[in-house]
Amino acid sequence: MKFIVSSSALLKELQTLGGVINATNTLPILDNVLFQLNENKLSLTASDLETTLSTVIAVESTDTGQVALPARLLTDMLKTFPEQPLTFIKTDQNTFEISANNGKYALAYVEAEEFPKAPHLPDPSKTELQGDVLATAINATLFASGNDDLRPVMSGVFFQFSTDALTFVATDAHKLVKYTRTDLTAAQSAEFIMPKKPLQVLKTLLAGTTDTVTIEYNESNAQFNFGATCLTCRLIDGKYPNYEAVIPKENPNVMEIERGTFLSSVRRVSIFSNKTTHQIRLKLAGTTLQISAEDFDYSNKAEEHLDCEYKGDDMQIGFNSRFLVEMLNNLTANQVRLELSLPNRAGIITPQDGGVEGEHITMLVMPVMLND
C-alpha cells in the first residue's frame, strides 16, 4: 500500500477530523484516523462512537488498502512541514514509512478491522438544503442550548421539519431561540434532536459553503452529506419540551432600538453588576431606556440612558446581562425589537431588518427578580 499526498491538503483534512476525536478515549483505536485507499482516492474517517466524520482527498496511487494511523502524532508532524508531496509506504515491520523532502519517519499503524463502523441508516427520511442556510440555523441556535446532563434533550438543537417550514430550536430554560425558514420545506414532517458536538463540527465545515447538504435521518441517527464529506451521528433520545407554550403571545409593551448601541451599553453597564447574578435593570418610560446595574457588595454601580422607540406602560424589568449579550451578539440586524408583558414574564427579542426572505428569528429571555 503506497500513495503520494500533498502535506497541506492532508493536514487540512486531519484538523477537520480532529473536531470529532476526544482528548481522552476509552478505546485506544479512537485516537486514530482510518485511511482507506482506493487508487487515486483516499478516504479519511474519525469517530468517537457517537459521531463519525469521513472525507475524501485526491492522492497519487494505484493501490488499495486500509489502515488506522495515530491522529495527533500525524497532525503535529504535518504542522511543521512547508507544502510538499509526502510518500506513504506500508512496510513489513507494522509501520508506515513517510518520506518527505529532507527526511523519513516511521509511524506504527493499527489494523483497520478494529476501527468502528459508522451506523447504516436503513430506509431514512431525506431533506436537502443549502450549506450556508444550515450553518446560519446552527449559528443562530446552538449558543442557546443547555449543558445540564440531567436534561439531555435540552443539550442539543431541535430540528423540526414540516411541509410548511423548517424550524430549529434551542433552549437551556433561561433563554430560547427559534429559527424558522418558511421558504424551505421538507417532503414529510419529522422531528429529532441533534447533539451539540456534531453541530459544532458542521458549523465549522459549512461556513461560507453553498454546497447542497443532504440530511438523512431515522429514529436514532442522522447523516449529513455534502461535497466529499459525510457526517453521521447518534441523535439525542427523548421528547423535546413544548417550547411554543413558553413563548408569551400577548406582549403590549414594545421597544425598538439600535442593536449595536443597546449591546455596547449592556456590556458596559454589566461590568458593574453583581458577579454572581450578572443582573441589570431596564427601565422604560417614554422614549428613554435606562440601563442600570449595582453590586451592593462593592458599592459599584452604573447607569446609562438610551433613546428608543417605545409603546406601552412604563415598566422596570431585570435580566441576566450575559444572556442579553449572547442574544444581541448572535443577531446581525441593525434594529431589534424587545417585546414585554410583565416584569415576571419572558421578554422576546426579534430582528427588524437584515434577514433574508422567509427567515424568522425569535429569541426569548427569562427575567430575573429585581431586588429593590
| Contacts for 284 with CB less than 8 Å, ≥ 6 apart | 253, 255, 290, 308, 310, 312, 314, 315, 316, 340
Residue 157 has pLDDT above 70, yes or no: yes
Predicted pLDDT of residue 372: 63
Predicted pLDDT of residue 226: 95
For 186, the grid coordinates are 421538507
**Per-residue pLDDT reduced to its tens digit, 271-315:** 999 999 999 999 999 999 999 999 988 889 999 999 999 999 999
Adjacent-strand bridge partners of 41: 38, 58
Predicted pLDDT of residue 355: 80
Nearest to 255 by CA among 368, 352, 365: 352
Identify the burial level of 2 via C-beta atoms within 10 angstroms of its C-beta, where 0-12 means exposed, 13-18 middle and 19 or more buried.
middle
Q: What angle do CA 173, 291, 261 make, to 5 degrees?
A: 90
**For the chain, percent of residues with pLDDT exceeding 90:** 92
Report the pLDDT averaged over residues 235-264: 95
54, 41 contact by CB (below 8 A):
no
Report the pLDDT averaged over residues 87-113: 94
**What domains does the chain contain, in order, with CATH numbers?**
2-114 (3.10.150.10), 125-244 (3.10.150.10), 247-368 (3.10.150.10)
| Contacts for 109 with CB less than 8 Å, ≥ 6 apart | 67, 68, 69, 90, 94, 95, 96
5, 53 contact by CB (below 8 A):
no
Q: Which one-letter DSSP state was computed for residue 220? A: S
Return mean pLDDT, the chain.
95
Q: Which one-letter DSSP state was computed for residue 3? A: E
pTM equals: 0.92
**Per-residue pLDDT reduced to its tens digit, 305-341:** 999 999 999 999 999 999 999 999 999 999 999 999 9
221, 233 contact by CB (below 8 A):
yes
